[in-house]
C-alpha cells in the first residue's frame, strides 16, 4: 500500500471536511445572495447576475491563483498565514461553490408562480419571514443547488493543489493524492482513491434521488388526495370542478 | 356560520388613487384614475376582462407602482414607505386573489402563516385558522395539501386566510368565480358581515348580477367603480342604471353586460348602442 491506512483515513476526513465546509459556507453566502438577486430590485442587479452566471464556469485553477496571490506571504492577506492550510483550500472551494449555489437559487425561486410571491408579499412578512416562506416553496430547487455545489467542491483538484500545496498529513486531499499517485505511476492506488471520491459522489446522487422521490410523492399526494377516504364529504357540494 | 370578525380596535387605513396612470409594456391600461377609499367604505370594481381591475387592487395594496399619479395610503405615497411601513399596512389587509397563490403545504398552514408572521402562537393561530375554515365550509380539510383543492375550495381557502388575520380591510378579486350558488351566497354574506363591522372592502367583479347583489344587499352604502377603456367611473347602483342608458362613458359596456346577464337585472332590456 502506497499510503498507510491512518494517513488514508486522514486524507478522506480532510476531503469530507473541506467539501462539507465549502458547501455549507457556499450555501450561507450563495442562498441569500441568490434570494437578493431574484427578489430585490436595485441598480446593478443585472450585472451582478451576469457575473454570477459567468462564475459557473470559473476555472478552479484561476480561483486558486487569485486566492494564492491574496494569501501568499507578500499578499494583502499574507499575515493571516493561511496559505498551505486546510482553511485556504476551504476558501478556494467556497469561491467556486458560492456562485453556483447563488445562480441555481435564483433559478429555483424565479420559477415560483407569481401569485405565490404576491400572496406572500401581501401578508406583510418581515424580510426573514419572506425569505423563509419563499425558500420553503423553492426547497426542492434550492436543495438541489446545494447538492450541486457539494459536487463541484468534491470534484475539484486544481485550487486545492495550489492553495493547499498537497502537504502530506496536512493538506493532502483525495484529489491531490490521486494526482500524486498518478505522477508516481501507481495507477492501482489512484483508482482505489478515486473509488473513495465516487462513494461520496454516489452518496450525493442518493440524496438527489431521495429529493426527487419526495417531490414526486408530494405531487402524487396532490393528484390522488381527492380519492382518499379520509377526506370530508359532508361539506362538499359536488358542484365544483 | 361563523362571523368574519374585524380586529377589535378596527381602524382601517384610508386608501386613494390620485390621477393614477398605468402602462404595461408601453400600452396604457389606466389613465387619470381617481378613487378614494375612506374608512369603512365598500367599493365594487366592475369592468370587462383585462380592463385593469386587478391592477387597481395591486395599486391599492402597494404591490405595483403607478406609471403616473399617486397611490396613497393614509395620505402618504406607498412608494415612500419603508419595508416595515408597508408590512404594517398590509398586515391589516386580507387579500383574496383571482388566481389564488397557495403554498406547497397543508391547508391549515396556508391559512395560519400570516397569523404566525404577526407573532400569534401556533395554538391560537390554529384555533383561529380552523374557525375561519369552518366559516367558509372547509372544516376537515386542515391537513390536506392545499394544491389538491378544487378551484372553488382554493378560493374559500383564500377567504379563510384573509379572515383568519381579523383584518381591517378586505380586497376580494373575483372571489366567487368558481363557487356554486350556495357558497357564493355564503362568501357574499361574509363580505357584507365584515363591512357591517366597520371594515373597508373592495370587491372586484366582472358580473353584473353579482354587482347588483353586492350593491343592494342590506343597508350597505356601496360605491361602484366601473373600469372601461382605462377610465374609472364611480357611481352608485341607481346611478349605474342611468349611466347604462347613456351613449358616452360606460353606457355601451353596461348595456352589453346587461344583455349577457340574467333577465332579472333591471335594465337588461335596454337597447344596445
> For residue A114, how many C-alpha atoms fall within 13 Å in the half-sphere facing its CB?
5
Contact present, B52 and B227 (Cβ < 8 Å): yes
Does residue A40 sit at the B interface (CB-CB below 8 Å)? Answer: no
Supply the pTM of this predicted model: 0.83
- Copy the grid coordinates of residue B219: 343597508
Other CB atoms closer than 10 Å to residue A80's CB: what's the count? Answer: 13
**Which residues are B35's β-sheet partners?**
B17
- As to burial, measured by CB atoms within 10 angstroms (0-12 exposed, 13-18 middle, 19+ buried), residue A112 is middle
Does residue B79 sit at the A interface (CB-CB below 8 Å)? Answer: no
Distance of alpha carbon B187 from alpha carbon B175, whole angstroms:
8
**Which residues are B235's β-sheet partners?**
B224
Write b or e for each residue in B64-74: b if 16 or more Cβ atoms lie within 10 A of its Cβ, otherwise e: bebeebbbbbe
Mean pLDDT for A173-186 is 92
Does residue A232 sit at the B interface (CB-CB below 8 Å)? Answer: yes
Distance of alpha carbon B161 from alpha carbon A123, whole angstroms:
10
Residue B3 has pLDDT above 90, yes or no: no
Query: B147: which residues sit within 8 A by CB, 6+ positions away?
Result: A222, B102, B104
Q: Which of B139, B158, B165 has its CB closest to that of A232?
A: B139
Q: How confident is the model at residue A1 (pLDDT cuts 50, 70, 90)?
A: low
Distance from CA of B197 to the nearest CA of A (A): 22
DSSP class of B200: E
Q: Taking CB atoms and an 8 Å limit, are B101 and A117 in contact across chains?
A: yes
Tell me the three state secondary structure of residue B21. strand
- Copy the grid coordinates of residue A108: 429555483
Q: Which of A113, A121, A235 has its CB closest to that of B137?
A: A235
Q: Taking CB atoms and an 8 Å limit, are B90 and A117 in contact across chains?
A: no
Q: Is the ipTM of this complex over 0.90?
A: no
Identify the helix (H) or strand (E) that includes residue A16: helix A5-39
Q: How high is the mean pLDDT of chain B?
A: 90
Distance of alpha carbon A188 from alpha carbon A192, whole angstroms:
6
Distance from CA of B135 to the nearest CA of A (A): 11
A234 contacts on B by Cβ (under 8 Å): 140
Listed range (A73-87, A208-222, B195-209) with the worst mean pLDDT: A208-222
Q: What would the pLDDT profile of A123-161 be if each residue is shown by its tens digit?
A: 999 999 999 999 999 998 999 999 999 999 998 899 999
Identify the helix (H) or strand (E) that includes residue A92: helix A86-110
Does residue B178 sit at the A interface (CB-CB below 8 Å)? Answer: yes
B68-73: strand order across its sheet: B27-37, B15-24, B68-73, B76-77
Q: What would the pLDDT profile of B84-141 be if each residue is shown by its tens digit?
A: 999 999 999 999 999 999 999 999 999 999 999 999 999 999 999 999 999 999 999 9
DSSP string across A101-157: HHHHHHHHHHTS-HHHHHHHHHT---HHHHHHHHHHHTHHHHHHHHHHHHHHHHH--
Other CB atoms closer than 10 Å to residue A222's CB: what's the count? Answer: 16
Amino acid at each position: 500500500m502506497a499510503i498507510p491506512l491512518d494517513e488514508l483515513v486522514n486524507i478522506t476526513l480532510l476531503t469530507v471536511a473541506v467539501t462539507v465546509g465549502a458547501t455549507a459556507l457556499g450555501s450561507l453566502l450563495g442562498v441569500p445572495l441568490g434570494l437578493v438577486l431574484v427578489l430585490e430590485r436595485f441598480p446593478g442587479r443585472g450585472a451582478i447576475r451576469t457575473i454570477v452566471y459567468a462564475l459557473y464556469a470559473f476555472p478552479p485553477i484561476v480561483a486558486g491563483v487569485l486566492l494564492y496571490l491574496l494569501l501568499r506571504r507578500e499578499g494583502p492577506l499574507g499575515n493571516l498565514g493561511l496559505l498551505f492550510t486546510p482553511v485556504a483550500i476551504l476558501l478556494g472551494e467556497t469561491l467556486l461553490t458560492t456562485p453556483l449555489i447563488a445562480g441555481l437559487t435564483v433559478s429555483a425561486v424565479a420559477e415560483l408562480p407569481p401569485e405565490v410571491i404576491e400572496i406572500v408579499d401581501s401578508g406583510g412578512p418581515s424580510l426573514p419571514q419572506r425569505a423563509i416562506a419563499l425558500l420553503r416553496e423553492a426547497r426542492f430547487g434550492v436543495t438541489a443547488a446545494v447538492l450541486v455545489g457539494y459536487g463541484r467542491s468534491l470534484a475539484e483538484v486544481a485550487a486545492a493543489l495550489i492553495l493547499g500545496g498537497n502537504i502530506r498529513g496536512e493538506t493532502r486531499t483525495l484529489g491531490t493524492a490521486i494526482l500524486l499517485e498518478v505522477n508516481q505511476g501507481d495507477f492501482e492506488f489512484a483508482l482505489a482513491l478515486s473509488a473513495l471520491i465516487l462513494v461520496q459522489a454516489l452518496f450525493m446522487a442518493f440524496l438527489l434521488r431521495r429529493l426527487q422521490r419526495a417531490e414526486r410523492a408530494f405531487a402524487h399526494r396532490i393528484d390522488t388526495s381527492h380519492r382518499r377516504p379520509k377526506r370530508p364529504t359532508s361539506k362538499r357540494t359536488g358542484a365544483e370542478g | 356560520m361563523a362571523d368574519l370578525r374585524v380586529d377589535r380596535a378596527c381602524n382601517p387605513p384610508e386608501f386613494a388613487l390620485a390621477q393614477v396612470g398605468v402602462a404595461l409594456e408601453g400600452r396604457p391600461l389606466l389613465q387619470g384614475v381617481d378613487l378614494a377609499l375612506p374608512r369603512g367604505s365598500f367599493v365594487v370594481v366592475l369592468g370587462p376582462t383585462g380592463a385593469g381591475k386587478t391592477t387597481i387592487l395591486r395599486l391599492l395594496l402597494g404591490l405595483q407602482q403607478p406609471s403616473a399619479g399617486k397611490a396613497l395610503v393614509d395620505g402618504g405615497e406607498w412608494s415612500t414607505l419603508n419595508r416595515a411601513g408597508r408590512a404594517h399596512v398590509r398586515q391589516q389587509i386580507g387579500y383574496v386573489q383571482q388566481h389564488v397563490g397557495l403554498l406547497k403545504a397543508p391547508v391549515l398552514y396556508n391559512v395560519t402563516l400570516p397569523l404566525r408572521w404577526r407573532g400569534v402562537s401556533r395554538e391560537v393561530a390554529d384555533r383561529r385558522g380552523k374557525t375561519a375554515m369552518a366559516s367558509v365550509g372547509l372544516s376537515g380539510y386542515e391537513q390536506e395539501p392545499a394544491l389538491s383543492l378544487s378551484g372553488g375550495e382554493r378560493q374559500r381557502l383564500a377567504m379563510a386566510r384573509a379572515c383568519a388575520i381579523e383584518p381591517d380591510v378586505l380586497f376580494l378579486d373575483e372571489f366567487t368565480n368558481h363557487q356554486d350558488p350556495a357558497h357564493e351566497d355564503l362568501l357574499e354574506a361574509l363580505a357584507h358581515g365584515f363591512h357591517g363591522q366597520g371594515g373597508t372592502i373592495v370587491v372586484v367583479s366582472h358580473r353584473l348580477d353579482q354587482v347588483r347583489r353586492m350593491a343592494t344587499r342590506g343597508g350597505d352604502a356601496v360605491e361602484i367603480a366601473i373600469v372601461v377603456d382605462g377610465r374609472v367611473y364611480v357611481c352608485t347602483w341607481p346611478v349605474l342604471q342611468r349611466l347604462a342608458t347613456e351613449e358616452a362613458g360606460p353606457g355601451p359596456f353596461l348595456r352589453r353586460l346587461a344583455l349577457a346577464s340574467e333577465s332579472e337585472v333591471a335594465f337588461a332590456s335596454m337597447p344596445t348602442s
